[in-house]
Amino acid sequence: MNTLDQLKQFTVVVADTGDFNAMRAYTPRDATTNPSLILKAVQQDAYKPLFLETVAAHAKKSVEAVIDQVLVRFGLEILKIVPGRVSTEVDARLSFDTQATITKARELIRLYENAGIDRKRILIKIASTWEGIQAASALEKEGIHCNLTLLFSPVQAAACAEGGITLISPFVGRILDWYKKRDGKEFNAEDDPGVQSVRYIYSYFKNYGYKTEVMGASFRNVGQILALAGCDLLTISPELLNQLQSMNEPVDRKLLPVKVTQDTLIKLRTDEAAFRYSLNDDAMAMEKLAEGIRLFAADSRKLDALVASA
């Protein structure tokens, strides 16, 4: 078997793209999107007709409502390819507004259900701010399943688990980026701080019996992916999926769902005060969360402009 097929023996492989044609060759179970990936896709010749058709069909609606339709339209196309779930992201500009996030998530689910899709096949992506986690926890009680993104720290992960969130997406590559910039050096897979973060979170969840799924995300190279073989899920770009499919390197399972006896797995406080202090105390997590929200918000504004000018 090639390396990708070996990896699938231990881990659910998820395609991280808005380019649904590109994912067909890799047979992922699930797929994830975000504003940046959708923006990239709608500017490609292959998807412009789909984008323009969707905008035209809802021309009398507000830009915000049309964006929702575009996001869901891409999600519907993806669901024709993957047998599992698609993640659709709430506008990052709502990251600090719990009620607005809940309202937007309900609207996205309504659109999917109107198109005949069971809500069990949808994950609503929400930034892992305190407000976002509270929104997701409330949504989960309504049967709306969530994927908490832009996650960089153990306290974010722990708060999601305590909130009964379906899935989290720790950002491996962006964590590595921060440490490479700070330390001015390269890291191998075993020393990679992004890899180490996901391994810690995975062990923490298994140790305390949390049901929240861990999905490593934001990979920079195949070494990071293989170092997390055994993680519940890994969401991978088509470029890295192609590399894995072209390789025949043996895959060893690195993560096992077993309890461990480590002092480092002391249970974390996840009340609001402890959450905010712990996040603030982690310079990397605080900076990357803020940066990620800004970048996704910027791409959302670009998508707004495309819709307005279509």
pLDDT over 70 at 122, yes or no: yes
Mean pLDDT of 49-59: 96
Specify the CATH superfamily of domain 3-309.
Aldolase class I (3.20.20.70)
- Written as one string, the DSSP assignment of 175-222 is HHHHHHHHH-S---TTT-HHHHHHHHHHHHHHHHT---EEEEB--SSH
Active site residue 254: no
d(CA 96, CA 110): 23
**Judging by beta carbons within 10 Å of its beta carbon (0-12, 13-18, 19+), is residue 68 exposed, middle or buried?**
buried
Q: What is the value of pTM for the model shown?
A: 0.96
pLDDT, tens only, 163-200: 999 999 999 999 999 999 999 999 999 999 999 999 99
pLDDT, tens only, 230-248: 999 999 999 999 999 999 9
If you average pLDDT over every residue of the chain, what do you get?
A: 96
- Written as one string, the DSSP assignment of 80-129 is TT-SS-EEEEPPGGGTT-HHHHHHHHHHHHHHHHHTT--GGGEEEEEE-S
pLDDT band at 259; cut points 50, 70, 90: confident
Helix (H, G, I), strand (E, B) or coil at 148: strand
pLDDT, tens only, 78-114: 999 999 999 999 999 999 999 999 999 999 999 999 9
pLDDT, tens only, 18-28: 999 899 999 99
Active-site option among 8, 40, 120, 125: 125
Angle between helix axes 283-309 and 272-281 (nearest 10 degrees) is 100
What are the residue boundaries of the structural domains of the chain, listed by start? 3-309
